[in-house]
Structure 1
Amino acid sequence: MVFECQKSPYKKEFTSKVVSCSPCQIERLVQGKKEKVQVFEVLLEDTVFFPEGGGQPDDRGFLNGIPVLQVKRRGKDAIHFLQDSLDVGTLATGVIDWERRWDHMQQHSGQHVITAIADASFGFKTTSWWLGESVSHIELDTVNVTDAQLKTIESQVNEKIREAVSVEVKVYEGDAIPDQVRSRGLPDDHVGPVRVVTILGVDSNMCCGTHVSNLSHLQFIKLLYTEKGKKNKTNLFFISGNRVLDYINRSLDRERQLTKILKNGPEDHVDLANKLQALVKLSQKTLQTLMKELAVVQAEKIKSEKPKFAIVHRKDGDADYASALISELASEAITLLITVGEDNNGQMTLIGQEDVVSSLGPKICSCLAGKGAGKGNKFQAKVTQLNPSARQEAETILRDYFQ
């Protein structure tokens, strides 16, 4: 299981003979949903397309101009899944998506050096890892990683990058693998020789992935944060290489936007955000008090009119306002429909005698485009249609019932 992509990870194009081509189905995301689509599985004599494995996603690109949708390993073979067929026995020219390949090389080699340093410095063993689309993580066999330990690992990792340590790949047959080589085991269907990736003086590890030839190609590694993992383990999230530059650019863009909004320099952003948050909380508390007072006034008005039913709508109202109004009118023999919130994000509450509520609740809920349920003398629902037309329809339902 040593393909051209593993021998020459920097190669971007290649030509190889088509060994087989047959129709099949694969699952693809179509408009956000997984669907089975008809494709062709193509086997070549060799390939520079990396088949997913070892925590590294597969390569993408083109074969004879046809998009390569997936590449998977099947025993000793790499299977390419294409939109169209290729003639068996002909030569196929492949061009890989180099930006994707280079990113995967940087993240995978980054994982190796982080794993080695975390183990050598603190005895944190790596039990698995995941190469994500924007951020990757390593599962470490430890309950916790302190900020000081993170800082030490990051410092030592980037020191190795500055030293421009070489990365070598050797192929071994069976029992010839040196004892010091680290491994989490081979796949059950592994066939053939074993590749060992060695970061000189740092780590030797069995691996099928594509790697940089020198740690200097990683540019920089940034350890982002940790999260509690499964079974008393810790997930360490990181970015490497070009992803660090992208991260910095996005952070600077947000910083510039915040500077414009807050009208102050980056060093004051946190203080200003805290002050704004405190002001918002105070405003919300004041608004809640005013809404409750408004509910009392509204309730007194309704009591003075002594109607059979009443409809109250407040765009700026909330659940507290509705509860206060209901509480003020609890002793009144009245059917009350309250709606609060925006047109596409609101709430309705119908209060009254049980027979009235059970009869009218679902109907009013339906015309306000909501989902809810009734219990006793109350029907409540979240609604998404509070425009004047829908509210007029709800009012008509009430009027017709009491006529």
Structure 2
Amino acid sequence: MLKNRLYYAEPECQSFTAQVVKTERDENEKPYVVLDQTAFYPTGGGQPHDTGTINGVPIIDVVEIDGEIRHYLSGEMDASGELDCNINWERRFDHMQQHAGQHILSAAFVELFEFPTVSFHLGTNLVSIDIEADDITDEQLKAAEELANKVILENRPIEVKWVTEDELYQYPLRKQIQATEEIRLVIIPDFDYNGCGGTHPEYTGQVSSLKIVSAEKHRGNTRVHFVCGKRVLNLLHDKTNVVAKASKLLSAPEDGIGKAIEKLLETNHSLEKSLKETQDAILSFESKELLSQQRNGLVTATFQGRSIQQLQKLARFIVAESDETIVLLVARNDDKLQFVAARGSLSTASMKDVSAAVLPLIDGKGGGNDAFVQGGGDYKLTEEELLKMMENSLTASIN
């Protein structure tokens, strides 16, 4: 065992003293210090690094490189003499709870369904494990969660043993261990035997509780998100606030929120349908008004703040009313221009020619066919100028 790593020798250690072995800069010119002993855990094995202070200067990162533990600080520090080191214990204990909870939940999936864990990530809000199973049912998730909480409630010891490669055969390991030297096992007797370099509490009861939040398919496996310890209370607090707010907004009791939302969605769907019908009626009326103002079978108009979908629908209404009419519509939306060109079924003019003529003028893109095109680009012309260009190209095409 590496005796200068107090996070292994004394995982409950919250403060300690140390001396500087080396001060250096890395390849990015970031300064760091190496101590003769440390309780600050370096990032590794899915667990984030510890934070805290050295002589009052905050630690921003702890990494291990080539067996050397580097402590990156937020500012300059007097590196002489004995240093006072203090760990951010709330963060460390949270990581210990989550990591131990991961061992317990992973072992539960193996115990119940022989689903091994292939990866682990300890995030700021959620913890996740990737389970080697392409699908896990809600019933299986519930069973694994219940077994995990049973083991937590039983307050079983969490033991740590350093063994040699030759001694590994004595333990029913959950997965194969790659290391050949300084092999560290984390053991929950009669339940889980696993090689691990992370930090853990001494008893499963210190994990407090575990709650699976969600599960999703991920690259052929199933990713399970969960929380442990204080994070369970934080999650419950947040969800309680959301439910209370929803209850107030919906004027419904908390156990009636589901039905209130269903009713709201039904009402919203009905309103959307009614609004669409009203908008179509307005566009139909507008199309007749524009058609009454046609000049020699040509309907033109410019707009501001009209979507391309509205232009398309308006053009279709017009050509549906008159087989011989050609429609040219242009709209400006902020610093963009959009247009639609359409022809009735008896017209032979090519709308693709119109689009091809004007798109380069606005650095635009478009699509469609000879009967109907749409496009858009930058506001390099006014909407009136673009419409005039479209009319000119149409005249040239017909002539």
TM-score by length of 2: 0.81
For the pair 1:235 / 2:223, whether they are aligned, the reply is yes
Mapped pair 1:270 → 2:265: no
- In the alignment, the residues of structure 1 paired with residue 169 and residue 16 of structure 2 have an alpha-carbon distance, to the nearest angstrom, of 32
Q: CA deviation at 1:247?
A: 0.6
- Residue by residue over 1:50-90, the C-alpha shift from the partner in whole angstroms, topping out at 9 and shown as x without a partner, is 11112211112222333322212223322222344556664
Q: 1:118 to 1:167 in 2, by over 3 A?
A: same
Letter aligned with residue 186 of structure 2: V
* Deviation sequence 1:263-306 (CA, Å, 0-9, x none): 01111111111111122122212222222222111111111122
Relative distance call for 1:362 and 1:9 in structure 2 (3 A) is farther
Paired residues of 1:75 and 1:191 also in contact (CA < 8 A): no
1:397 is aligned with what amino acid? E
| Match for residue 97 of structure 1 among 69, 88, 91 | 88
Aligned pairs for 1:293-372 within 5 A: 293-306=281-294, 309-313=300-304, 319=309, 321-330=310-319, 331-338=324-331, 348-351=338-341, 357-358=355-356, 360-361=358-359, 372=365
Offset at residue 357 of structure 1 (A) = 4.1
Out of 124-133 and 61-70, give the one that drifted further. 61-70
Please name the residue that 1:30 is paired with: none
Task: Specify whether residues 267 and 394 from structure 1 end up closer, same or farther in structure 2 by C-alpha distance, changes over 3 A only.
Answer: farther
Structure 1: 5+ residue stretches without partners: 27-37, 384-389
Q: CA RMSD in A?
A: 3.2
Q: Write the deviation string for residues 220-264 of structure 1: whole angstroms up to 9, x where unpaired.
A: 111223222323x22222111111001100000001110111001
Matched, 1:43 2:40: no
3-state SS of paired residue (2:170): coil
Alpha carbons 1:21, 1:87 under 8 Å: kept: no
Map of 1:378 onto structure 2: 373
2:160 is matched with 169
Letter in 1 for 2:276: Q
Residue aligned with 1:94, SS: strand
2:62 is the counterpart of 1:74: no
| Deviation for aligned residue 1:382 | 8.8
- 1:350 offset after TM fit, Å? 3.6
Q: Secondary structure of 1:156's partner?
A: helix
Provide closer, same or farther for how the CA distance between residues 127 and 359 of structure 1 changes in structure 2, counting only shifts above 3 A.
same
Tell me, what secondary structure is at the counterpart of 1:212? coil
Counterparts in 2 of 1:93 and 1:128: CA distance versus 1, 3 Å = same
Name the structure 2 match of 1:211: 200
The verdict on how the C-alpha distance between 1:110 and 1:9 changes in structure 2, with shifts beyond 3 A counting, is: same
1:165-198 CA distance string (max 9 Å, x none): 12122223443445215264556xx685222112
1:55-70 → structure 2 map (5 Å cutoff): 55-70=46-61
| 2:153 pairs with 1:151 | no
2-structure distance, mates of 1:127, 1:158: 22
Q: Distance in 1 between matches of 2:316 and 2:190?
A: 74
Residue 254 of structure 1: aligned partner: 242
Residues 328 and 387 in structure 2, CA contact (< 8 A), matched pair in contact too: no
Aligned residues with identical type, % of pairs:
26
Structure-2 residue corresponding to 1:18: 20
Please give the alpha-carbon distance, in whole angstroms, between the structure 2 residues aligned to 1:90 and 1:359: 79
Please tell me whether the aligned partners of residues 106 and 116 of structure 2 are also in contact (alpha carbons under 8 angstroms): yes
| Contact 1:221–1:244 under 8 Å retained in 2 | yes
2: CA distance, partners of 1:251 / 1:7: 39
Whether the 8 Å CA contact 1:127–1:141 is kept in 2: the answer is: yes
Cα separation, partners in 2 of 1:243 and 1:382, compared to 1, 3 Å: farther
Matched residues in 2 for 1:152 and 1:183: separation?
19
What are the residue-to-residue correspondences of 1:193-204 with 2, within 5 Å? Answer: 193-204=182-193
Pick closer, same or farther for the CA change 1:262–1:318 going to 2, 3 Å.
farther
CA distance in 2, matches of 1:121, 1:325: 62
Which one-letter code corresponds to 2:293 in the other structure?
E
Bigger Rg over Cα: 2
Tell me the distance in 1 between the aligned counterparts of 2:172 and 2:33.
34
How many angstroms does 1:41 deviate by? Answer: 2.8
State the secondary structure of the residue aligned to 2:194.
strand
2 CA distance for matches of 1:84 and 1:238? 36
Separation in 1, partners of 2:18, 2:271: 69
In the TM superposition, residue 214 of structure 1 has moved relative to its aligned partner by 1.3
